[in-house]
Structure 1
Amino acid sequence: MTSTSAGRSAGQSAGWGAFAAAEPEFAARAEARFAAFAHHVLATLRADGSPRTHGLEVRFLDGELWLGMMPDSAKALDLRRDPRFALQANPGAGQGMDGGDIRLSGRAVEVTDPAVRARYTAEVDPPDPDAFHLFRAELTEVVRTSVEGAQLVLRIWRPGEGVRTVRRS
C-alpha cells in the first residue's frame, strides 16, 4: 500500500502517507479529529453533477486513508463514476471548534487488488470481507480551521505546496 510522492506540483494528489511525511503534526491533528467520532460526512457528485452527502466511517491503515462502503451504495457508485470527493470530520455535538475542524478533498481510487483488500479486511473485519467497495484517498487539499484568540485560522495543505496559513479577524 504505497503512497504518492509528496513533491508533486499544485493540482496533483498525494496519499495520506505523503501528507503525513510532509506535515506530521498537521496529519496527527487531522487523524485525531477523525478518531474522535466514528461517523463523518462524505460529499460526492451525482450523475447530473449535483452534490450528495453521506455518512461514512474512515480508517487510517498502513499510511493510507481508506473509505470502505457497502456494495452498490450510492456513495460507491458516485465515486466509481466520478472519483472526486470532499470529507469533513464530525465536529461533535456541542463541541464547536474544539480541536479544530478538518476538511479534505481529493480523488477516491477504488482498490480491487485481492492482496490489498485482504490486508484491509484483516485489520477492519467487515461483516462480509468479499462484499464491499474499498477506496484509497488521494488528497488534493487538507484544511484545518480553528479559533485562536479572536482569529479564525485556516491551515491549508496541498501536495507540493506545503502549508499556507490564513488568519481572519
Structure 2
Amino acid sequence: MARMTTWQEFAEQAPELAKTARAQLEAAKHHVLATLRRDGSPRVSCTEVGWRGPDLTLGSMPGSRKALDLRRDPRFALHANPGDGLMASPDVKIAGQAVEVTGDEQHAWVEEVSPPSEDSHLFRLEVTEVTTTGVSDDQTHLVIQHWTPAEGARTFKRR
C-alpha cells in the first residue's frame, strides 16, 4: 500500500505544486471522483471538495453510492474540472484514500456548511499522489509534475 499524507503535509513538501492544484480545485465547483464498485469496476461521480483545517475533504448525501463505495474500499481518484479545454491552467489529478469523519468533527462540519442533510457523509482525503499536466509557456511540449510522499515532486517534459 502506498504511503499516504494529509493535504497540509503535501503542501509543505511541494508548495508550488500544491498551490497550482488547489487553485484548480477552487476554480470550479464540480469535479470528477472515481471510486470502486463492489465488483471492482470503476464508478465516476460528480463531487465538490473543500478544505477543513489542514485537510482536503469531500462530502456526500447520506447513503450515496460514492459514500458506500468509499466506506467499502477507500481508494479514490479525483480529477479537477479541466475548465474550458484551452489548457490555460494545468490539468490536476489526485489519488489516495478517503477516511470517513464521524462524531463531533462531522457534527461541527454540518453546523459549519449546512449540507442538505445532517446525516451527510464527510471524508478526509489522504493523498498518495498528485499530478498536474500543462502546456509549456512556448506551447511546444507538455509539462507534467508528479508528486508522491516517497519520491517527492518530479517534473517531466513530453513532446
Who is 1:135 aligned against?
123
8 Å Cα contact 2:7-2:54 kept in structure 1: yes
- 5+ residue gaps, structure 1, are 1-9
8 Å Cα contact 2:61-2:116 kept in structure 1: no
Who is 1:4 aligned against?
none
- 5+ residue gaps, structure 2, are none
Q: Report the 3-state secondary structure (helix = DSSP H, G, I; strand = E; otherwise coil) of the residue aligned with 2:67.
A: helix
Who is 1:36 aligned against?
27
Who is 1:26 aligned against?
17
Who is 2:134 aligned against?
146
Query: How many residue pairs get matched?
Result: 157
Q: Report the 3-state secondary structure (helix = DSSP H, G, I; strand = E; otherwise coil) of the residue aligned with 1:47.
A: coil
Q: Report the 3-state secondary structure (helix = DSSP H, G, I; strand = E; otherwise coil) of the residue aligned with 1:14.
A: coil
CA distance in 2, matches of 1:27, 1:113: 29
2:115 paired residue among 126, 129, 135: 126
1:66 paired residue among 47, 52, 57: 57
Q: Percent identity?
A: 50
**Deviation, structure 1 residue 120:** 2.2
**Deviation, structure 1 residue 11:** 2.1
CA distance in 2, matches of 1:24, 1:118: 31
**Deviation, structure 1 residue 60:** 1.4
TM-score by length of 1: 0.88
Q: Which amino acid aligns with 2:54?
A: G
TM-score by length of 2: 0.93
Q: Which amino acid aligns with 2:115?
A: P
Q: Report the 3-state secondary structure (helix = DSSP H, G, I; strand = E; otherwise coil) of the residue aligned with 1:96.
A: coil
Who is 2:40 aligned against?
49
**Deviation, structure 1 residue 97:** 1.3
